[in-house]
Amino acid sequence: MHYYLFVLAVLAPAPAIAIVVLAVRLRAAVRQGGARALAARTLAAWRGGTGRPVWPGLAAVAVTTGLLTAGVERWFLAEVTDGLPSGFDVVLLSTMLGLLAALVCATLTGLAAAAVARARGFGAGTVAGLLALAAVAAGTACAHLPLRATYLAEPDIFPAIVVIGTGRLFGPFEVFLAALAWALPWPVLGAALAARAGTPGRRRAIRDTWQLMVDLAVADLPGHRSAWGTALRAELAAIDPPAERRRFALGGVWAVLRSGQPRGAWIMAAGTAVVVGGGVFAASRWSLAHDRGGVLGFWTAAPTVLLLAITLTTAWRHRSFGSGLRVGALAGLTAMAAVLAVSIPEAVVWANAQAGYLSTGDAVPPTWQAAVLDVLRPEFLTAMTVFWTTGAVGGAALGTALSRRPADTTALTG
């Protein structure tokens, strides 16, 4: 049952919010001017989302993604052809890296949509973000599909390995392409969180990249720090030399990220460490007593749901997406420390009891050192990072959406 809740927590929040945002937008447009106004605003959004410098950037994204895909595939084939290292699952790691790459793409396209929306409105930002995802998919497909066709035509010239869940050599890259579908809502959310009220399709003057960087960094500060953000923008506007503007903007963004922790963040992080550490210990001992296998499922599922709840609550209380993410990042670091602090001695207990590896319980480690190293396997750490990050980001987005008051709806949907 908890796996269904886990999947629901990871996959459901972002699409649900994006659908609500789009529905409210479309309803408002139809009410204001009917179908004709909706068509005009859609056309304006398309023009704003594809105008310069967006479309040259889209071409660069497609080319860069294609080159990266070709290079990663060559590395992957070289690794599996030379033989898999003992105790290292390069296929699982590659699959997790594929999911992580999709998560990074979701974040970057959300930021791109936010940047365009800040200058040209929600519609243009959404179009630009979705087209950026399409460019990523196109670049990846152009590099991957020819190699896949060769593999299907002449499988004997490729190494014979089985990818978890797919049985195909290039499963990690197909996982990445499939996971891009999960990234679709994030351009909508990025555009909605960054768009200024009353800017449907109308362009805003953006002086340079440094202004845009500071503007986005302070756009979602909590209420008690919004005045400081306004002062930061005003001070940057008074600086003219490009080098000074760059230094001030970078310093200001770093100050926002470093000093933006809400009150009680460390208390929540400490509580997270206690809950996660106690949960790992209980799951380990219960699994050991009932011969239920390892605790890899608990490592990925339970902290994900907990981080989603923490970031949702924080973002809702402070009405700030950034606050939720900051608390989630801090709680995630303490959760990882707790997992390792409890799992390492528990792995030794499992090894001494001849019960197998703590992670999966599928084989008996030859030494206690091997049992400890199994806990620190990069593929397991990457899997935890991917799922935990997904839950934290989804919770922050959901909490921000739920915190919007009637007077603030233009900030999200206006």
pLDDT in tens, 193-227: 776 544 444 455 566 677 777 876 776 676 667 77
Number of Cα atoms under 13 Å in the Cβ half of residue 282: 8
Within 8 A by CB and 6+ apart from 227, the residues are none
Question: Between residues 96 and 382, which one has the greater pLDDT?
Answer: 382
Predicted local confidence at residue 408, as pLDDT: 42
Contact, 99 vs 179, CB < 8 A? Answer: yes
Q: Exposed, middle or buried by CB within 10 Å (0-12, 13-18, 19+), for 126?
A: buried
Q: Choose the weakest-confidence range: 106-115, 134-143, 208-217, 308-317.
A: 208-217
Residue 279 binned pLDDT confidence (cut-offs 50, 70, 90): very high
Rounded distance between C-alpha atoms, residue 387 and residue 31, angstroms: 40
pTM (two decimals): 0.69
Predicted local confidence at residue 332, as pLDDT: 93
Residue 409 binned pLDDT confidence (cut-offs 50, 70, 90): very low
Rounded distance between C-alpha atoms, residue 124 and residue 142, angstroms: 26
Question: Between residues 274 and 370, which one has the greater pLDDT?
Answer: 274
Predicted local confidence at residue 24, as pLDDT: 79
pLDDT digits (tens, 9 = 90+) for 307-365: 999 998 888 887 777 788 889 989 999 999 999 999 999 999 988 887 788 888 777 88
Rounded distance between C-alpha atoms, residue 194 and residue 106, angstroms: 16
Residues 210, 215, 221, 227: is their CA dihedral positive or negative? Answer: positive
Contact, 315 vs 189, CB < 8 A? Answer: no
Question: What are the C-alpha distances in Å from 17 to residues 102, 174, 323?
Answer: 19, 26, 18
Predicted local confidence at residue 220, as pLDDT: 66
Contact, 234 vs 269, CB < 8 A? Answer: no
Q: Choose the weakest-confidence range: 60-69, 138-147, 193-202, 357-366.
A: 193-202
Dig out the tokens for 101 from the structure.
């790459």
Rounded distance between C-alpha atoms, residue 95 and residue 166, angstroms: 11
Rounded distance between C-alpha atoms, residue 298 and residue 2, angstroms: 10
Question: Between residues 383 and 36, which one has the greater pLDDT?
Answer: 383
Angle subtended by helix axes 378-403 and 13-50, to nearest 10: 80
Other Cβ atoms closer than 10 A to 373 = 16
Alpha carbon of residue 339 to chain centroid: 21
Predicted local confidence at residue 89, as pLDDT: 63
Average pLDDT, the chain: 79
Question: Between residues 261 and 69, which one has the greater pLDDT?
Answer: 69
Residues 132, 133, 138, 141: is their CA dihedral positive or negative? Answer: positive
Predicted local confidence at residue 167, as pLDDT: 44
